[in-house]
Chain A
């Protein structure tokens, strides 16, 4: 299944362009390229059963709306945004509290600039801590942390996925890391 021609050296945006013109195999190639990543993102949001169904639904919505994609822009934030919105809908249907429509940290500019880049060891340690504590974190902080540390998206792309200002991404990452550290300290205290 799928055309070999799409696999080598053809960008996501070019493949999406073929998909827009009705080439189902081109869309299949996009699914192939993104299903692992979106599943990984989904599993950190939802339960396993929910994750697969949510990712499938996200791809179907992406197919239905593929003609709204501007091939001059990057495909990755676009598909992640569709997936993120679908995952949030799943959480809402399950009655889990999500980020409100209006959040104060999107209102004002933030003077806190991006933190200094962490080295490989720090990032690996943060990923390990995140994996253990993600479900306990507020959804507001979970999404940017996962998108930054696991999906390795840039601030600009995360801002587009979440629909928030770029500065707010930095603020939520910082607050998310602080919340994570407090969770770890609390767990350490309880086990001690």
Chain B
């Protein structure tokens, strides 16, 4: 029995049923503007998700650079510990959520779904990493406004993340040298005595001198900081 005979065997042909449903108005053609709006909403969603992702990624970069912890891995395993403890994980999680949303929206397009998922994910990550470098200075400017009390909203967020400090990690300038080490002055002008111990790692690309920019990994005691590691930073 052929396929056409089988169609009629079960009653009205499919063609007749489809056309009769159309003629009876049981199904209507959606207007063109419906699909144009749908496409526009999709594109808007992609744009919003991408901008949000760039904003959050830029904020993460700003936080790591402003607090200085992006340099902490130079001190080895302990430095990596400080780094991971200082990463703004809530913002990272939000970024991942927007990454998933963006990937889901981008998969609607054939240039994305015809290729392995990994390609579009890597493409998005590349755009975000590059874009975040352009956005980070914006966050730095907003942080400055926050410190000057000129930011109408989000001031608390910027002060909290921008001034976050891990207790074992410090950055500042050498105020003066001492026989045991040096005096460190931070951005706010406060000073601390830094002592070198027998296990202090000194990563000195240039000699220690007053005014040099340094970072220190070390535990604070009541009146001094015992340096586990010291690194001179390039100016």
Contacts and interface: CB of A to CB of B under 8 A. Distances in A.
Interface in B7-43: 7, 10, 13-19, 21-23, 27-32, 34-35, 38
B141 interface: no
Interface string B82-111: 000000000000000000000000010010
Contacts of A36: 3-4, 7
Given A59-B18, A109-B119, A35 B30 contact: no
A166 B35 contact: no
A108 B34 CA distance: 35
B23 A39 contact: no
Instruction: Give the interface centre of A32, A64, A160 by most chain B CB atoms within 10 Å.
Output: A64
B17 A56 contact: yes
Contacts of A52: 7, 10, 14
Interface residues of A, number: 39
Contacts of B38: 68
B117 interface: yes
Contact of B7 (A35, A63, A68, A109): A35
A104 B223 CA distance: 56
Interface string A161-175: 001111110000000
Interface in A47-91: 48-49, 52, 55-56, 59-60, 63-68
Interface of B: 3-4, 6-7, 10, 13-19, 21-23, 27-32, 34-35, 38, 107, 110, 113-119
7 contacts: A24-B19, A28-B19, A31-B14, A63-B22, A64-B27, A107-B118, A159-B113
